[in-house]
Amino acid sequence: MTEKEKAALGMLYNANYDTDLKEERLDCQELCAEYNRLMPKELEKRTELMKRILGKTEGEFMVEQPFFCDYGYNIEVGERCFLNYHCTILDGAKVTFGHDVFVAPNCSFYTAGHPFDIEQRNEGLEYAYPIHIGNNVWIGGNVTVLPGVTIGDGTVVAAGSVVTKDLPAGVLAAGNPCRIIRNLSE
């Protein structure tokens, strides 16, 4: 079983020393660097290049510069998805953004984590768990979403939050660790 196959199954895998994964990350980093060098008004070129970087796109979407990710092919964005400046996605596993998602500046989405065991960590082992962002979600500035998290449809995550656990649909959540403040229907 390859390291990439292990990652897709949520198993510990070697991302640091596996030559295939290192090469895929370097290829993606070069595409991201090219994207980040484009002039802001080169919208058509930006969209074309972002479609090469991302695994799946639907309809119109916008990714502001600079943008950074590990592999790109694990990222899916829905229609009218907007990722603002300085978005970082460590996509060792799938990261899915639904339709009409707004992500403020300086947000990070980390599917990757490392074992607490020192020997395993020093071997370069890590795990990757998928992140799913539902439709009509608003994520405030400087939010970090950790591995394995699902954020339900219509939820708002306040600026500066660290989302460590799933959030249901239709809530306002905030804090570190992020917790539900109230239902948005209230």
Identify the structural domains of the chain with CATH numbers, from first to last.
Answer: 3-116+127-183 (2.160.10.10)
- Residue-wise pLDDT for 35-60, tens only, equals 999 999 999 999 999 999 999 999 99
- Beta strand 125-128 with 13-14: parallel, antiparallel or unpaired? antiparallel
Asked if pLDDT for residue 186 goes beyond 80, the answer is: no
With a pLDDT cut of 90, the percent of the chain lying above it is 97
Burial of 52 (0-12, 13-18, 19+ CB in 10 A): exposed
Mean pLDDT of 169-183: 98
Which position among 86, 99, 114, 132 bears the catalytic label? 114
Per the annotation, the verdict on 86 as an active-site residue is: no
Alpha-helix residue ranges (DSSP H) falling in the chain: 3-8, 19-37, 43-53, 118-122
pTM for the model stands at 0.96
- Residue-wise pLDDT for 97-134, tens only, equals 999 999 999 999 999 999 999 999 999 999 999 999 99
Give me the pLDDT at residue 185, please. Answer: 87
The residue type of 164 is T
Residue 65: pLDDT band by 50, 70, 90 thresholds? very high
Give me the pLDDT at residue 162, please. Answer: 98
- Residue-wise pLDDT for 69-78, tens only, equals 999 999 999 9
Mean pLDDT of 69-88: 98
Q: Which residue matches tokens 């970090």?
A: 144
Mean pLDDT of 172-177: 98
Mean pLDDT of the chain: 97
Q: Is 99 helix (H, G, I), strand (E, B) or coil?
A: coil
